[in-house]
Amino acid sequence: MPVEAPYDDRLLHQRVVGGDESALGEVYDRLSSLIFGLALRVTRDRVIAEDITQEVFLVFWERPLAYDPERGTLRAWLATIAHRRAVDHVRAEERRRVSALGPRLFEREPDRLEDTVLASDEAKRVRQAVTSLPDGLREAVELAYFGGRTYRQVSEELGVPEGTAKSRIRLALRRLADALAEEEV
């Protein structure tokens, strides 16, 4: 059962919905240290935590109706957004690190020339399968898996809704799996 927001949350929310900048300032004064601390604990980077804190309050200012006082406190809602953004950042950084090291990081040295030829052939088949995807699917999967982007970043770069970006990535992966299974890769 959702916890109903306190009365002052409701008033502040109504004021922000009405465009009252001072109400946003009050929310910021009340909750920014919590949001910053949460982002810092997850990212372990003060600059990134400051950026996430700013993004969280920007989300509230730009889309105040996304918060529903019937479903919980403003504090919990903003903390959830901060946590999600911080985790997304950490995951994206990890993908970038792995991507920078290259795929060879996880490959073992082939024992024989035959193994090298087979590995090269498999890589070629994967590249061909990716190339054969329709443009929208190919772009999404390349950004996500080869570019280390989150689905939100894919959404922004392609100028499509987040749900569309997720669907394109999933569909692309399904088609790649099917195509490669047919070729026994």
| Distance in angstroms (rounded) separating the CA atoms of residues 137 and 172 | 5
pLDDT number for residue 118: 56
Length of the chain as a residue count:
185
Q: What are the φ/ψ torsions at residue 10 (nearest 5 degrees)?
A: -65, -45
Residue type for position 183 = E
* Statement: residue 100 has pLDDT above 90: no
Mean pLDDT along residues 124-130: 80
d(CA 143, CA 158): 9
pLDDT per residue as tens digits for the range 42-82: 999 999 999 999 999 999 999 999 999 988 999 999 999 99
pLDDT band at 176 (very low <50, low <70, confident <90, very high): confident
CA distance 112 to 161: 47
Instruction: State how far the Cα of 117 lies from the Cα of 9, in Å rounded to an integer.
Output: 64
- pLDDT (tens digit, 9 = 90+) per residue, 13-40? 999 999 999 999 999 999 999 999 999 9
Q: What is the mean pLDDT of residues 130-146?
A: 85
Q: What are the angstrom distances between the C-alpha of 95 and each of 9, 37, 47, 88, 107?
A: 38, 24, 20, 11, 17
